[in-house]
Amino acid sequence: MNALIEIFKLFFHLGLVAFGGPAAHIAMIHREVVDKRKWMDEKHFLDLIGATSLIPGPNSTEMVIHCGYHRGGIAGLLVSGISFILPACVLTGFLAYLYTIAFKFPHFETYMIGIKPVVIILIFQAIQKLWKKAITAYELAVVSVIVFLLGFSGIGEFYSLLLGTCVGFVILKFKKPSSINSIALPAIFWVFAKIGSILFGSGYVLIAYLQDEIVENRAWLTSSQIADAIAIGQFTPGPVLSTSTFIGYLLAGGWGAVAASAGIFLPSFIFVVLLNPIIPKMRNSKNFSLVLDSVNAASIGLMAYALIPLAKVSFPSPTGSITFILTLILLWKFPKISSLKLVSFGIISGVALTELGTLIS
């Protein structure tokens, strides 16, 4: 029981303060679990990082679940995952409530245009960082470009990713054959569970899936609302996938938020339970390594394609275009500025430029 309380306190605290994306989250987990508490050694922690990269879902959340499982078994797995996810989901749900109320204010939708170009820049930054790790050979760059182009074909994000992964695996195997507004709650749960089951790569890949499943296939929300949801996910601590809570609330209120959150995070718990006992074998599998390389490259292509719908709702507006330029200048001046501050700047810029435009006209 003491171990479960310790697990809850640690990961609930991290859920409240874990800003900065998956890499920053994993660094915090490493400091707490390996350096301070000595729950496991460095080698096993690295094994867990490698294993989480081989399965769909949010890497930092799955690392939390792995650590909880290692420390407290199945009960520790549940406590760690829920305590880490809960703060972000609750806060995001509250912001979604405020968001729906705010639409009653004049010019609110115009104010929010400042967020869209900031999200575009955040995705560019993520692609730039991940490209160096994911694209380690020209064949993988080809896979990424193929998936990007497939986005325009209309076959869907999952099939684009699957096809890109298969192409990448075949190419790499050939090259190195011996080397390494009210929506039904069940519908909301199913859509997000499906996304959570096939989401590889950075949380930013989520944008492409949301655009495909929520906007294009079902017309539940607009591209503009998806961009707002992603921005709110950046604004809150914890996993970026808490964006699902925001979207679920827009679709069906509080229970919609619960259904979306449960759907997108549940596969991670299942994958960790299934994966944990076979991590050593997976680490030594050459074919798994080739599949992983291909999936990561394909994910970069999906992220790049996700920029298209965001650009369509951002740049036709003078406010969006000016905010984009101002944000680039801000990044040039302060290259290490946080996502939280960038999103805040986008909101302030949107409000200020909208009011200025009203005064001029």
277-290 pLDDT tens trace: 776 666 566 776 67
Are 131 and 250 in the same domain? yes
Are 190 and 302 in the same domain? yes
86 with 237: CB under 8 angstroms?
no
Identify the band that residue 126 occupies on the pLDDT scale cut at 50, 70 and 90: low
pLDDT computed for residue 170 by the predictor: 74
Number of structural domains found in the chain: 2
Give the type of residue at 9: K
Cα(119)–Cα(122) distance, integer angstroms = 5
Are 59 and 113 in the same domain? no
Torsion angle of C-alpha atoms 181, 184, 189, 194, degrees rounded to 10: -90
> Which of 21, 51, 85 lies at the terminal end of a domain, its last residue?
85
Residue 218 has φ and ψ, to the nearest 5°, of -115, -15
| Structural domain contains residue 137 | yes
pLDDT computed for residue 56 by the predictor: 73
pLDDT computed for residue 205 by the predictor: 66
> Which of 85, 113, 134 lies at the terminal end of a domain, its last residue?
85
pLDDT computed for residue 289 by the predictor: 66
| Structural domain contains residue 91 | no
Note down the domain range covering 43. 2-85
Identify the band that residue 258 occupies on the pLDDT scale cut at 50, 70 and 90: very high
pLDDT computed for residue 208 by the predictor: 75
| Structural domain contains residue 94 | no
Are 124 and 12 in the same domain? no
Residue 275 token pair: 């994966």
Q: How many residues does the chain have?
A: 361
Identify the band that residue 219 occupies on the pLDDT scale cut at 50, 70 and 90: confident
> Which of 57, 85, 113 lies at the terminal end of a domain, its last residue?
85
Are 59 and 139 in the same domain? no
Residue 266 has pLDDT above 70, yes or no: yes
Burial of 81 (0-12, 13-18, 19+ CB in 10 A): buried
| Structural domain contains residue 53 | yes
Write out pLDDT tens, residues 31-87: 888 888 888 887 777 777 766 766 777 778 888 998 999 898 899 999 999 999 998
Q: Which of 11-25, 138-152, 179-193 bottoms out in mean pLDDT, i.e. has the lowest? A: 11-25
Identify the band that residue 178 occupies on the pLDDT scale cut at 50, 70 and 90: very low
- Average the pLDDT over 220-236 and give the result: 78
- Average the pLDDT over 162-187 and give the result: 69
Average pLDDT of the chain is 78
Cα(161)–Cα(167) distance, integer angstroms = 10
Residue 191 has pLDDT above 80, yes or no: yes
45 with 233: CB under 8 angstroms?
no
pTM, 2 dp: 0.59
Contacts of 81 (CB under 8 A, 6+ apart): 11, 61, 64, 65, 68, 265, 268, 269
Q: Which residue has the higher pLDDT, 150 or 185?
A: 185
